[in-house]
Amino acid sequence: MNTLIANFKMNMSPEETKNYLITFLSRYESDKLDLTLCLPYTSLYVGNYLCKGKGIRIGAQNLSDEETGRNTGEVSGNMLKGSGVDYVIVGHSERRKKFKEDSKAINRKIKVALKNGIGLILCVGESLIDRNTLKTKEVLKEQIEGALKGLYENELERVIIAYEPIWAVGTGQTPSAKEIDSAVKEVRKVISDDFSEVASKSIRIVYGGSIDSKNVKQFLSCKNIDGFLVGHACLDANEFLKICSLVR
């Protein structure tokens, strides 16, 4: 368990990111963690500059599903690669809901990212209604199969799946360790059925949804996950440093 992903969402100007990183990097011990900071586009430059040589990956939070062209305001895979981005988040529940991103668009984004040498953090997860109507497994299967359609097995090495139940993202609620384990087992089963058992064992899966320095300890024993995706709790450098030291 040593993968940690921070999703800064739509927070921090470049100047604020700079101040945050100066505090964070002054106490961050990089040796055992595989840390990716998913910054807003406008902070990628400062993130890359300050994190260079510190063993931290820089991630983005979105990319266009097209390679180039007349797409005012969009950012392409090629632009992200040129900005030093190693990973990009796709399928986040906020984008699925607010921007109506469906599995087909997510699948196109994944292919564009891989073509440009960028790894993926693919978010999947059920809503409260899905959960209450016992549809979690069905939803996870649909989301994973839709997103990974047409990929070669070796491309999964560049994919991290983030299991993020929608009802837990930004709400302060979390599933139990047992519930996470059961959902992640399903994720691995889908990968095993569609790719191979080897792929299902080796693909990295993290849990995301209201993780903070107080509750993270109860999930450290989840054997089926490789780490966490942290949203609001990463915005305070001291709080995030605590999480880093607990997870590594």
Residue closer to ligand PEP by CB (options 195, 228) is 228
* 209 binding ligand PEP? (CB under 6 A): yes
Rounded (to 5) percent helix, strand, coil in the chain: 50, 15, 35
Question: Is 153 an active-site residue?
Answer: no
* 210 binding ligand PEP? (CB under 6 A): yes
Residue closer to ligand PEP by CB (options 9, 96) is 9
* 170 binding ligand PEP? (CB under 6 A): yes
Residue from 37, 216, 229, 241 touching ligand PEP (CB under 6 A): that is: 229
Sort 230 into a burial class: Cβ within 10 Å, 0-12 / 13-18 / 19+: buried
Confirm if 184 and 205 have CB atoms less than 8 A apart.
Answer: yes
Catalytic-labelled residue, pool 101, 155, 164, 179: 164
In three-state secondary structure terms, 190 is helix
Amino acid at site 84: G
Relative to beta strand 87-90, strand 119-124 is parallel
Cα of 83 vs its chain's centroid, Å = 19
60 forms beta bridges with: 88
Task: Tell the smallest beta-carbon distance from residue 1 to ligand PEP (Å).
Answer: 17
**Backbone dihedral angles phi then psi of residue 67, each to the nearest 5 degrees:** -75, -40
Question: Is 92 an active-site residue?
Answer: yes
Residue from 101, 126, 130, 164 touching ligand PEP (CB under 6 A): that is: 164
Task: Tell the smallest beta-carbon distance from residue 174 to ligand PEP (Å).
Answer: 9
Residue from 232, 239, 242, 246 touching ligand PEP (CB under 6 A): that is: 232
Task: Tell the smallest beta-carbon distance from residue 48 to ligand PEP (Å).
Answer: 22
d(CA 248, CA 243): 9
Catalytic residue set: 92, 164
Q: List residues binding ligand PEP (CB under 6 A).
A: 7, 9, 92, 164, 169-170, 208-211, 229-233
